[in-house]
């Protein structure tokens, strides 16, 4: 998996830019969570699991949050650290396995735990996802929230989709394809083409196609409270017709 995201690093922020709608949605959830009563003067503490280049974490910091970003890919974390503008800011980045967060952070340390950008389905199946969700609940304080964003694999599987929409920027074209595997996972195959049409790289990684209802049930099993499902960060309730899904779970 590292090679895919090493290759994607140069283009990552062009392909997946920080968008105001997502920032506004998460800022609204953070405001509703508030901070623990004993820490009313403190900034909301956010864990961004799978932070990639750190651009979104830093955007949250600029909105008044104290953000810890983690990612398993060393190149992504190096990029995030370079972007952090000063030695002392309200953001920090660590290379870390998302399955180790409860070993590293104290129980109830964060007001908000994020797992965005289809990060969660890089885990190898429901057992690993449940293990992460239990740890996310542990490090999230009572009254806080967990937000997850993934592809809507219920629609992908129902319609037999083999491609996601192409993303084009001024420098590149990003094509994404799915192939079935024998182990219940799917192969995610990514290709970047230059503006001249030449393939810059092709790579693949395995994903577990967790459906929205499966994720909702896993969140419940992990001990979270009410779970809301949305099509996207507009706040539109889940219709099942969109290619994405956002889940917000109360701690």
Among 30-34, 155-159, 205-209, the minimum mean pLDDT is found in 30-34
Among 80-84, 130-134, 213-217, the minimum mean pLDDT is found in 80-84
Q: Quick one: average pLDDT of 178-189?
A: 95
How confident is residue 85, by pLDDT bands cut at 50, 70 and 90? Answer: confident
Buried b (16+ CB within 10 A) or exposed e, 78-113: bbbeeebeeeeebbbbeebebeebbeebeebbbbbb
Q: Quick one: average pLDDT of 193-220?
A: 95
Q: What is the pLDDT of residue 2?
A: 62
For residue range 22-51, list pLDDT tens digits in order. 999 999 999 888 655 545 557 899 999 999
CB 69 within 8 A of CB 83: no
**pTM (predicted TM-score):** 0.94
């Amino acid at each position: 998996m590292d090679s895919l995201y090493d290759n994607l690093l140069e283009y990552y922020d062009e392909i997946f830019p920080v968008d105001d709608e997502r920032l506004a949605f998460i800022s609204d959830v953070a405001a509703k969570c508030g901070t623990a009563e004993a820490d009313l003067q403190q900034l909301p503490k956010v864990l961004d699991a799978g932070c990639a280049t750190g651009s979104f974490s830093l955007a949250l910091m600029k909105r008044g949050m104290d953000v810890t970003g983690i990612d398993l890919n060393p190149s992504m974390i190096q990029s995030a650290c370079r972007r952090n503008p000063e030695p002392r800011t309200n953001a920090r980045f660590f290379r870390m396995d998302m399955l180790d967060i409860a070993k590293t952070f104290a129980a109830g340390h964060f007001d908000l735990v994020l797992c965005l950008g289809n990060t969660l389905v890089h885990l190898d199946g429901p057992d690993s996802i449940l293990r992460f969700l239990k740890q996310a609940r542990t490090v999230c304080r009572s009254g806080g929230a967990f937000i997850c964003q993934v592809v809507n694999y219920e629609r992908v599987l129902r319609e037999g989709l083999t491609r996601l929409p192409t993303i084009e920027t001024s420098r590149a074209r990003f094509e994404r394809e799915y192939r079935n595997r024998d182990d219940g996972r799917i192969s995610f195959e990514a290709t970047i083409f230059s503006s001249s049409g030449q393939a810059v790289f092709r790579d693949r990684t395995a994903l577990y196609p967790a459906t929205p209802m499966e994720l909702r049930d896993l969140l419940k099993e992990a001990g979270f409270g009410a779970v809301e499902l949305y099509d996207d960060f507009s706040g539109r309730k889940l219709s099942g017709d969109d290619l994405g899904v956002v889940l917000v779970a109360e701690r």
